[in-house]
Structure 1
């Protein structure tokens, strides 16, 4: 009699630990695409009880704050961190700039972009909005705050202050309230801010990456970014509020790991909620108390829902949208502009035609984003990973703190979203419809 066959072992397929973050990115990306698509194609369906674009921004910045600092801590190497960030962000960013400039004969570059060297300097650093320079693609303004966050996180890491995210989130939220009450706009104005920040950015990062005067350079860059947000950004209170939200995301991660408290997040939420209510520069419809607070509540609930489902299998389409979210963010706005240039004004067309054109435009946006992700983002990320792994240089005098249990393959930078109204339709939908 033959021996009985051993019972089959059924192994559960593990759920990727950070798939929920990609799903959140997917939700945020599609919210911002909808914010830009609806005014052009289906204005009757655009919600006004909350703002889709701001909702998407807040979700993205919470995700960024949650994962980016721990990425640096896991590497324990600021050189590897910045190499990976460069190859994650710049290749697609430069490709979109080239596309927009190449087609400027057909759809002109935005009037908000200076026609001088200050635009080149601001685009080179991505510090566009914090030096009051418009991006060639409307959605690029949020990259400014992502970059400032990187600079601040690096400075905190080299000075061993990176575990104070809860305190920092509250301080930035309080700054948003105070600055909103006293500042009507940028204090430092003029193209010189773009030139100075570009020179400091290049010199400082060269020191950080090469390891010479690393701590001093990182601190100088962090102070420069902070000064730019508070003194030369277009809307200082909004910049401070964005940084508060990002550090709140970090505080949530500390709490989840048992190394921090959650109450600073509650304080930050309350302060960010009231920040625009009495701000001097707050005349947009989306900062009305009911709209602003509802938008914040929805973004927070979405992030909390994602955390609650983080160990469950999530819809693949949302995770996939999250993977291509950076492409969706940078590509969708120019593509929608070109689409409208071809089709003409669709806002007064019959509803079936509007629905058909909206579906077609969305299909084109997703297809182009998938292609740029496949042929621009992924090869650049792979190259960045190879170069960062070869660096092999630990942080000098800054601690080698790492976060265990996270796969390096999960170290992705989210897309960044916004809610501006396209230039071509701004006069039709009203000034109050623009996020900026």
Structure 2
């Protein structure tokens, strides 16, 4: 059995600021998608030029690696880890896929022009659900597949692979562990693996926090890193680093556009740097460990719906685009309408995770299996 060592608790300050990052990254993704010209013209083209939505996903990956490593310590056993991760994913993913099918069908029936290729791809329902529920829609050897309009689900395909690899690496041993890891890596493919370093940075962050690293660092170091992480990210964009790196990647693969070869991993070099900048910020927060923040209750509440907003906002945007006429305030209707749909969705599918686990396994089994208060 995996036996965690050291302090397996997360401080209130670090937990709260992880929620801040989660909420901020979710809003950035939504705004980035709203900025597509087919939704809002060229009014917010700078968001598309900077590709901030994809950058925000890497922030999610770092947070995810940290939280999953924390959860593994709290779970302490493979059965608990699998139960908690699976229920967390499927309690949201199953209804999100159903919602995507329903929204796409209804919106397409109203205005097919609001569903252009490649932003919308229609598939047989069985194939759609199979690939969505196995999180294999971006696994290279199985063929990449866009799930209707719900393009953001690409990142869950990546994360699911990381959960599987991490779980087997931590809770199994011997030759069977090596064999399973090789098979999963081979099936998931190169694209998935290229972004895993950012996720592993999160794992490393938790190991450092658990070992007492923040207590051994001076507060001035914390302030320096909190300021330096975002500053490095901003400087990278101002200097055109992402463009330079993606062009170099395309040349290395002998293609005109790296996206054709690597899919959503086309900026993996820049994404690696974003992982470092995010880790710098989180290290700084862990050192400073702020105890209070104005509006912390609201932040916690919004963070409790961030997963739902992420998996529902894009089909919601397409549906609203198809149904809302070109009226004053249309951009705000699309933005707050898609956010509202995600928040309502969270009320019924994300927030009641405890009740869902009890219904699925029974109260006594949940007490034995749950073993972790982590919500990721």
TM superposition score normalised by structure 2 = 0.69
Q: Deviations over 1:337-364 (max 9, x none)?
A: 11110135x6xx8xxx3xx222222222
Extract unaligned runs of 5+ from structure 1: 1-13, 162-214, 231-235, 261-268, 396-406, 414-436
Q: Which residue of 2 aligns with 1:340?
A: 321
Are 2:42 and 1:29 equivalent residues in the alignment? no
Secondary structure class of the residue paired with 2:152? helix
CA distance in 1, matches of 2:32, 2:64: 21
Q: State how 1:266-277 maps to structure 2 within 5 Å.
A: 276=246, 277=248
Q: Which residue of 2 aligns with 1:8?
A: none
Are 2:91 and 1:91 equivalent residues in the alignment? yes
CA distance in 2, matches of 1:245, 1:388: 36
Q: Deviations over 1:312-353 (max 9, x none)?
A: 323434433322110110111111111110135x6xx8xxx3
How far apart are 1:129 and its partner, in Å? Answer: 0.6
Choose which of 116, 122, 125 in structure 1 pairs with 2:131: 122
Q: Which residue of 2 aligns with 1:76?
A: 76
Extract unaligned runs of 5+ from structure 2: 1-10, 109-114, 214-232, 234-240
Secondary structure class of the residue paired with 2:106? coil
Instruction: Please identify which structure carries the higher helix content.
Output: 2
Q: Which residue of 1 aligns with 2:291?
A: 312
Query: CA, structure 1 residues 258+80, in 2 after alignment: closer, same or farther (shift >3 Å)?
Result: closer
How far apart are 1:298 and its partner, in Å? Answer: 5.9
Contact 1:31/1:56 (<8 A) preserved: yes
Query: CA, structure 1 residues 358+251, in 2 after alignment: closer, same or farther (shift >3 Å)?
Result: same
Query: CA, structure 1 residues 289+15, in 2 after alignment: closer, same or farther (shift >3 Å)?
Result: closer
Contact 1:20/1:307 (<8 A) preserved: no
Q: Which residue of 1 aligns with 2:159?
A: 146
Secondary structure class of the residue paired with 1:54? helix
CA distance in 2, matches of 1:289, 1:104: 31
Are 2:181 and 1:222 equivalent residues in the alignment? yes
CA distance in 1, matches of 2:265, 2:136: 24
Q: Which residue of 2 aligns with 1:168?
A: none
Choose which of 341, 349, 353 in structure 2 pairs with 1:380: 353
Choose which of 215, 223, 245 in structure 1 pairs with 2:198: 245
Contact 2:357/2:366 (<8 A) preserved: no
How far apart are 1:36 and its partner, in Å? Answer: 0.5
Secondary structure class of the residue paired with 1:129? coil
Q: Which residue of 2 aligns with 1:64?
A: 64
Choose which of 325, 328, 336 in structure 1 pairs with 2:309: 328
Contact 1:50/1:286 (<8 A) preserved: no
How far apart are 1:366 and its partner, in Å? Answer: 2.4
Q: What is the CA RMSD across the aligned residues, in angstroms?
A: 4.0
How far apart are 1:94 and its partner, in Å? Answer: 1.3
CA distance in 2, matches of 1:153, 1:290: 22
Q: Which residue of 2 aligns with 1:5?
A: none
Query: CA, structure 1 residues 50+291, in 2 after alignment: closer, same or farther (shift >3 Å)?
Result: farther
How far apart are 1:289 and its partner, in Å? Answer: 11
Aligned length: 313
Q: Deviations over 1:105-163 (max 9, x none)?
A: 333486545437544432221121113222232211111111111111111112469xx
Q: Which residue of 2 aligns with 1:38?
A: 35
Contact 1:24/1:306 (<8 A) preserved: no
Q: Which has the higher contact order (CA 8 A, sep 6+)?
A: 1
How far apart are 1:392 and its partner, in Å? Answer: 8.0
How far apart are 1:412 and its partner, in Å? Answer: 1.5
Query: CA, structure 1 residues 107+304, in 2 after alignment: closer, same or farther (shift >3 Å)?
Result: farther
Secondary structure class of the residue paired with 1:278? helix
Contact 2:205/2:279 (<8 A) preserved: no
Contact 2:59/2:274 (<8 A) preserved: no
Secondary structure class of the residue paired with 1:65? helix
CA distance in 1, matches of 2:70, 2:182: 21
Contact 1:24/1:303 (<8 A) preserved: no
CA distance in 1, matches of 2:198, 2:358: 28
Q: Which residue of 2 aligns with 1:175?
A: none
